[in-house]
Amino acid sequence: MELSTTAINTWCPGCPNFGILASFKEAMTAMVGANETTWENIVVGTGIGCHGKMSDFINVNTFYALHGRVIPVMTGIKLANPKLTVMAFSGDGDSLAEGIEHLIHAAKRNSDFKIFLHNNQVFGLTTGQVTPTSAKGYQGRTTPEGSVEEPLNPLALLLQSGATFLARSYALQPKETAVMMRQALNHKGFGMVEIIQPCITFNDTRPYFKDRFETLPQDYDASDYASAYQALMTKSEKVKLGVIYQVNKPTFEEQV
């Protein structure tokens, strides 16, 4: 199936969003090939931000939501037709500033859809303002002397909120990101893959992350809450990549 559209791509040349787009195509092709879903049953939502253009560039069922409101739309779609494979691309500004209340409640309910979070730690589309995940000291258009706030940790927030699948990947590792997307979509319940996505124009974190990633060890137990807490909360120079938490609980749709 041809997954590309004829829309002109307006991302900055070299933006790691291209890697996320490639990961999505690879994950969906693998899932359909393995009869884990069908093209007709795939539904993708997006919010507002650079990530939102994913809706323009993929030839599947898509819904372009208002800013911060993609989560309630996905909740309704999955509830109305539980056999669909439902996911949303969102950004740190979209889901952690505008839509944070929806995010927390979707995790609390364990609604069976997934968020692929393009975490670039900046409002990129509007040319560089702080978001809730911007690093302390980030100098952007609204904080020319540096942000004084500590960044929010999205996966730690969702661990506490009740999410049943939490993973982290790097946009510049598209193969690994595709594997994590597929794992997330084969999980029953609410999940997020936080994709660290440097905004090469307004917040180029590639040098910062260059030697900072650490893949979780083979014997890591993702079903253990305490291990997940430690992986997410321990102050360390290293940022953990992989499936950090996965447990089974009744979903919102099953219970309703």
Q: Six-digit token pair at 117?
A: 């979070």
Can residue 200 be called a binding residue for ligand SF4 (CB under 6 A)? yes
Half-sphere exposure of 174 (CA within 13 A, CB side): 13
Which segment (8-16, 72-80, 213-221, 235-243) binds ligand SF4 by CB under 6 A? 8-16
Residues in CB range of 60: below 8 A, 6 or more apart: 3, 28, 39, 42, 43, 44
H or E stretch covering 169: strand 165-170
The DSSP string of 85-116 is EEEEEEEHHIIIIITHHHHHHHHHHT-S-EEE
Q: Smallest distance from the beta carbon of 197 to ligand SF4, in angstroms?
A: 7
Which segment (7-15, 129-137, 205-213, 216-224) binds ligand SF4 by CB under 6 A? 7-15
Tally Cβ neighbours within 10 Å of residue 178: 23
Burial of residue 143 (CB within 10 Å: 0-12, 13-18, 19+) is middle
Which CB, 18 or 229, lies closer to ligand SF4? 18
Residue of 20, 58, 199, 232 that binds ligand SF4 (CB under 6 A): 199
The DSSP string of 173-228 is -HHHHHHHHHHHHTSSS-EEEEEE--BTTTB--HHHHTTTEEEPPTT--TT-HHHH
Site string for ligand SF4, 32-51 (x = CB under 6 A): ------------------x-
Which CB, 20 or 28, lies closer to ligand SF4? 20
Q: Cα separation of 43 and 132, whole Å?
A: 27
Q: Which residues in 150-189 contact ligand SF4 (CB under 6 A)? A: none
Which CB, 59 or 201, lies closer to ligand SF4? 201
Which segment (10-18, 61-69, 145-153, 169-177) binds ligand SF4 by CB under 6 A? 10-18
Can residue 138 be called a binding residue for ligand SF4 (CB under 6 A)? no
Q: How far does Cα 118 stand from its chain's mean position?
A: 5
Q: Smallest distance from the beta carbon of 96 to ligand SF4, in angstroms?
A: 15
Which CB, 124 or 189, lies closer to ligand SF4? 124
CA neighbor of 55 nearest in space, from 70, 76, 36, 39? 70
Can residue 201 be called a binding residue for ligand SF4 (CB under 6 A)? yes
Size of the site for ligand SF4 (CB under 6 A): 11
Can residue 124 be called a binding residue for ligand SF4 (CB under 6 A)? yes
Can residue 57 be called a binding residue for ligand SF4 (CB under 6 A)? no
Which CB, 21 or 244, lies closer to ligand SF4? 21
Which segment (75-83, 147-155, 160-168, 200-208) binds ligand SF4 by CB under 6 A? 200-208
Chain residues binding ligand SF4 by CB under 6 A are 11-12, 15, 17, 50, 120, 124, 199-202
